[in-house]
Amino acid sequence: KQEFSRFPTKAGRRSLSRSISQSSTDSYSSAASYTDSSDDETSPRDKTQVNTKGSSDFCVKNIKQAEFGRREIEIAEQDMSALISLRKRAQSEKPLAGAKIVGCTHITAQTAVLIETLVALGAQCRWTACNIYSTQNEVAAALSENGVSVFAWKGESEDDFWWCIDHCINTEGWQPNMILDDGGDLTHWMYKKYPNVFKKIRGIVEESVTGVHRLYQLSKAGKLCVPAMNVNDSVTKQKFDNLYCCRESILDGLKRTTDVMFGGKQVVVCGYGEVGKGCCAALKALGAIVYVTEIDPICGLQACMDGFRVVKLNEVIRQVDVIITCTGNKNVVTRDQLDRMKNGSIVCNMGHSNTEIDVASLRTPELTWERVRSQVDHVIWPDGKRVILLAEGRLLNLSCSTVPTFVLSITATTQALALIELYNAPEGRYKQDVYLLPKKMDKHFCILYFILFTGCTAYI
Lowest mean pLDDT among 42-51, 355-364, 415-424, 436-445: 436-445
User: What average pLDDT does this structure show over 408-416?
Assistant: 90
| Edge-first strand listing for the sheet containing 100-105 | 149-151, 124-129, 100-105, 178-181, 203-206, 228-230, 434-436
Q: What is the mean pLDDT of residues 426-453?
A: 83
397 among annotated binding-site residues: yes
Final residue in a domain of this structure, among 355, 371, 393? 393
Q: Report yes or no on 389 lying in a domain.
A: yes
Distance (Å, whole) CA 287 – CA 19: 38
Same domain for 365 and 341, yes or no, is yes
With cut-offs at 50, 70 and 90, classify the pLDDT of residue 448.
Answer: confident
Residues 112 and 172 in one domain: yes
Q: Is 108 annotated as belonging to a binding site?
A: yes
Distance of CA 247 to the CA centre of its chain: 16
Ligand-binding annotation for 443, yes or no, is no
Could you tell me if 214 and 264 lie in one domain?
no
346: in domain: yes
Q: Is 431 within the bounds of a domain?
A: yes
What is the rounded CA–CA span in Å between residue 151 and residue 155? 13
298 within 8 A of 306, measured Cβ to Cβ: no
Q: Is the pLDDT of residue 304 over 80?
A: yes
Residue 432 is assigned to a structural domain of this protein: yes
Categorize the per-residue pLDDT at 456 as very low, low, confident or very high, splitting at 50, 70 and 90.
low
- Res 418: pLDDT: 93
Domain of 123, in residue numbers = 2-233+403-454
* Domain final residue, candidates 393, 411, 446: 393
For residue 24, is pLDDT > 80? no
Assigned domain for 181 exists: yes
Q: Residue 2: which pLDDT band, with cuts at 50, 70 and 90?
A: very low
Query: What average pLDDT score do residues 284-290 get?
Result: 97
Give me the pLDDT at residue 13, please: 44
**Which is higher by pLDDT, 25 or 334?**
334
Same domain, 171 and 135: yes
The strand ranges marked E within 275-362 are 289-293, 309-310, 322-325, 345-349
Report residue 254's pLDDT band, with 50, 70 and 90 as the boundaries: very high
100-105 and 178-181 beta bridge pairing:
parallel
Same domain? 262 vs 355: yes
Residues 64, 210, single domain; the answer is: yes
Same domain, 319 and 443: no
Report the alpha-carbon distance of residue 17 to residue 2 in Å, rounded: 12
Q: Give domain status of residue 398, yes or no.
A: no
Listing DSSP states for 36-64 in one string gives -TTS--S-GGG-----TTS----B-S-GG
Looking up residue 140, the CATH number of its domain turns out to be 3.40.50.1480
Residue 166 clears pLDDT 60, i.e. is over it = yes
The strand pairing partners of 266, in sequence order, are 289
- Cβ neighbours of 81 (radius 10 Å): 15
Asked which of 1-10, 96-105, 294-303 is least confident by mean pLDDT, the reply is 1-10
Give the angle 178-180-182 at the CA atoms, nearest 5°. 155
Query: pLDDT tens digits for 187-233?
Result: 999 999 999 999 999 999 999 888 999 999 999 999 999 999 999 88
pLDDT of residue 75: 95
Q: Is 278 annotated as a binding residue?
A: yes
Query: pLDDT band at residue 37, thresholds of 50, 70 and 90?
Result: very low
Is 271 assigned to a binding site?
no
Same domain, residue pair 214 and 256: no
Question: Which CATH number covers residue 295?
Answer: 3.40.50.720
CB 301 within 8 A of CB 294: no
Last residue of a domain, one of 370, 393, 416: 393
- The answer on 424 and 312 residing in a single domain is no
Does 194 fall in a domain? yes
How many CB atoms within 10 Å of residue 185?
A: 26
Q: Does one domain contain both 420 and 359?
A: no
Residues 306 and 357 reside in one and the same domain: yes
Tally of domains within the chain:
2
Q: Does some domain include residue 79?
A: yes
Same domain, 134 and 59: yes
Residue 137 annotated in ligand binding: no
Q: Residue 11 pLDDT more than 50?
A: no
Tell me what the pLDDT averaged over the chain comes to.
88
Residue 322 annotated in ligand binding: no
